[in-house]
Amino acid sequence: MQKAILFNTSYKNLTKNLLSKKITAIKDADETSCKTVYKNIKFNSVTNFADGNENDFVAQMYNKYYSGRSCMLTFKNDAIVSMYTLN
C-alpha cells in the first residue's frame, strides 16, 4: 500500500505500519514538492529520547530528478521529521 503524507505531520500508527510492512511506499503529499515517492523502505535503527523514539529507515527516492537514490528517513512520534540522501 502507498500512503501520501506530509512531513512533520503525525499519522496514527505510521511507524507501526512501516515496521509490519503494511505500507510499502510513501508519497510526499506537499503541493510544492516534486512529487517524490519513497519505495523499498527498510528499518535501520532506533534512538531513544525522553520525548519519543526516533526510528530510521533506509529507502529509495524517486522523483523527476532521481531514480532510486538512497536516502534515510527519520520518524518520530508517527511523523517523518527528516530526510537526507546517502549517496
The answer to whether residues 56 and 72 touch, using CB atoms and an 8 Å cutoff, is yes
Closest among 32, 27, 31 to 59, alpha carbons compared: 27
Grid cell, residue 40, equals 523499498
Tens digit of pLDDT at every position of the chain (87 positions) = 789 999 999 999 999 999 999 999 999 998 888 889 999 999 999 999 998 899 999 999 999 999 999 999 999 999 999 999 997
Amino acid at 8: N
Grid cell, residue 62, equals 524517486
Q: What are the residue boundaries of the structural domains of the chain, listed by start?
A: 2-85
| 3-class secondary-structure state, position 17 | helix
Integer Cα distance of 27 and 46 in angstroms: 22
Whole-model pTM: value is: 0.89
